[in-house]
Amino acid sequence: MPTNPLTAAEVLDRMFLDVRCRLLDVAATLDRLHRSPGAEGLANERRMQQIREAIDILNSPGIDRAERLQMLFSDSYIPHWIQGLKTNDPAAQLGGKAFQESV
């Protein structure tokens, strides 16, 4: 049986409090990071750069924000990833972006 999609107003009514809660959680985490000792040293850290870019994506127009966020936080394919499992190097065992940056 086909269902009728929700209107934009209905989606907002249903999701507003949940989205508000998630945004407050992100804001609180960023505040906590910036209050912590050593915060100034994280300005150029890869994960902080990803968080800033994610916020830019959320603030941009379009219907593909979730996809762009997923791609931002996803690892690229690493052709010889299995070799990282055969080593005692922790960075290699992590795989993904951490491994790529260490190579």
Please give the Cα distance from 5 to 88 (Å, whole number): 52
Nearest to 69 by CA among 57, 81, 79, 60: 57
- pLDDT tens across 22-59, in order? 999 999 999 999 999 999 999 899 999 999 999 999 99
Please give the Cα distance from 45 to 41 (Å, whole number): 8
Tokens 């999701």, residue located: 15
The pTM assigned to this predicted structure is: 0.69
- pLDDT tens across 53-80, in order? 999 999 999 999 999 999 999 987 777 7
| 57 HSE (CA, 13 A, CB side) | 17
